[in-house]
Chains A and B, each alone.
Chain A
Amino acid sequence: MRLRFFLALVCLAAAIAVGVARPWNADGASASAVEAQSSLRPGGFVVVVRNGSREAVRLAQVTVDDAFVGFHATRLVLAPHETAQLTIDYAWVKGEPYEIGVLTSTGEIVQSDVGGAGEG
């Protein structure tokens, strides 16, 4: 009886793990090794994105504080270990924090924070 309960628990845990981890995209690869670092520049931001995963990553969109924004990118497709520099024009306010999101082609987001007290 105890073994049966244990097996049921294991099955449930596995089902939850598979269920919640399933991406929308059939080819949805992990972007967990994709990193972003953002900094202030006069009149905007600079974001450096590094692809630390073993697969190519395609950058699609950028948001600042939940709003899509235009951006310049040195590249949009990042092979493993490649980096891209994104330049965003933005009228930031000294001392205020900003959250920058980089959306990949599969809908994943790599977020970084910039600004806030002590910066700018």
Chain B
Amino acid sequence: MPLTRITRRSALAAAASIVGSGAVARLAGVRTGTAFAAPGAAPTAGMDMGAMPMRSGFAEGRTTVDPRANGFDPMKILRDFDWGKTRRLASGRVLREWEIVAYDKEIEVVPGVKLTAWTYNGRVPGPTLRCRQGEALRIRFVNAGSHPHTMHFHSIHRDVVDGVPGIGRGLIDVGDRFVYELDAEPFGLHLYHCHAEPLAEHISKGLYGMFIVDPKHGRADADELVMVQNAFDSIFEGDNNIYAVNTVAFHFFYHPIRVKRDSLVRIYLLNIVELDPINSFHVHGNFFHRFPTGTSLEPSEYTDTIIQGQAQRDILELRFPYTGTYMFHAHKTEFAELGWMGMFEVV
């Protein structure tokens, strides 16, 4: 029998109106018109789709999110490495510096659905910080967000720069700033994220990024791709309902990643999905060498599917022997059909 159920968030809203709490005005307030846009067009407030027959959703209609509206492009994030600014210290050692600003921002994660994210430098994931093993690193962090935040690096460092509440500077208050100083150790594929509590909320709202430490002698030349597996819980039920690589669901399904046949492709793959215990990566028509955490130059496995827990990351290397279109996706099919699905176009 047909049945309507309202999600927890809506139920809370209804409950709030009974209680008469301070949240009522927000929840019952006038909704300002957000936009629906045609493919490739910038959203226009108040656009009336009225009684026009529309086709939308995963398979048809507007399949993309305008990168200009979000301020970042999942495709550009793939090959965008932030090397910061460097200078040589008196000791001869390289000092590499970045400035990272945390602030709130509304982002569109699947066509038509906008959420307020907490970001590092206005993007989700945050910038991919890249350096070389042995360098001195300085990250100037400014909290321009609405809540206290931190930056916690997965690296070898002293406790005072661990970015954990109650240790060293701990939480960085709204409007405050702090400089994290650490060494680029060990080489490999790592991450950074906010460590303020509640942890799940600060991470799942977008405060994370990749942190790559190249080995001293580098790696072989390759077409390098950053893939951050993430997800969003738009209804606060403790369960994600939108999945992606680099934030926008299905982006690489509709915009295949172009790579060259027989060329070395290196994927930096990180799983930062909260609320689900595992994630996975599978590529069609090919196998790859797996370098867990990127801390060894010898692969551990030759496969076409891997499983990652939270914060787990791997460097994957592969060459496509045939031209054509090859899918990649989470092999947890629920995640795939909720957005974590893409294509390689081999030319």
Q: Is the CB of B112 within 8 A of A61?
A: yes
Residues of A with C-beta under 8 A to B48: 77
- The one of B4, B52, B337 that contacts A36, using a Cβ cutoff of 8 Å: B4
Closest B-chain residue to A25, C-beta based? Answer: B116
Q: Which residues of A contact B (CB under 8 A)?
A: 14, 17-18, 20-32, 34-39, 54-63, 66-77, 101, 103-114, 116, 119
B7 sits at the interface (CB 8 A):
yes
Chain B residues near A55 (CB-CB < 8 A): 30-31
Chain B, residue nearest A19 (CB): B23
Once bound together, how far apart are the Cα atoms of A49 and B30, in whole Å?
A: 20
- With contacts defined as CB atoms under 8 Å apart, how many contacts are there between chain A and chain B in the complex? 205
The smallest C-beta distance from B37 to any residue of chain A, in angstroms, reads 12
B91 to chain A, nearest CB (A): 47
Residue positions of B touching A, CB distance < 8 A: 1-7, 9-17, 19, 21-23, 26-34, 36, 48-61, 106, 110-116, 205, 232, 234-236, 241, 249-250, 334, 337-339
- For B36, list chain A residues within 8 Å (CB): 58, 60, 76-77, 105
B11 touches A106 (CB 8 A): no
| Contacts A67-B334, A107-B113 known; 10 new A-B pairs at CB < 8 A | A22-B26, A39-B2, A60-B56, A68-B338, A71-B56, A75-B50, A75-B52, A110-B4, A113-B1, A113-B5
* A105 → chain B closest CB, angstroms: 5
Residues of A within 8 A of B3 (CB): 112-113
Residues of A within 8 A of B9 (CB): 23, 108
Contact of A74 among B12, B53, B116 (CB under 8 A): B53
Kindly state the separation between the CA atoms of A7 and B1 in the bound complex, as whole angstroms: 46
Contact partners of B338 in chain A: CB under 8 A:
63, 66-68
The CA of A77 and the CA of B253, in the complex, are separated in Å by 27
A107 to B110, CA, bound (A): 10
Q: Bound state CA distance, A105 and B205, in angstroms?
A: 17
Query: Are A61 and B32 interface neighbours, CB within 8 A?
Result: no
User: B26, A61: Cβ atoms under 8 Å?
Assistant: no
Whole-angstrom CA separation of A5 from B8 in the bound complex: 30
**Chain B residues with CB under 8 A of A30:** 10, 13-14, 17, 27-28
- Specify which chain A residues have a CB less than 8 angstroms from the CB of B15 in the assembled complex: 17, 21
Is the Cβ of B56 less than 8 Å from the Cβ of A35?
no
**Nearest Cβ in chain B — how far from A56, in angstroms?**
6
Bound-state CA distance A119–B57 (Å) is 26
Q: In whole angstroms, what is the CA distance A73 to B53 when docked? A: 6
